[in-house]
Amino acid sequence: VSAMRDTAREIQILTADNPAHQTEVQALAQRIELFAELLQRVDDIGRREGFSAARQLATSDEMRKTRGDLENLLHAMADQER
pLDDT in tens, 6-23: 888 888 888 888 888 888
3-class secondary structure, 3: helix
pLDDT band per the 50, 70, 90 thresholds, residue 34: very high
Candidates 3, 16, 15; CA nearest to 80 is 15
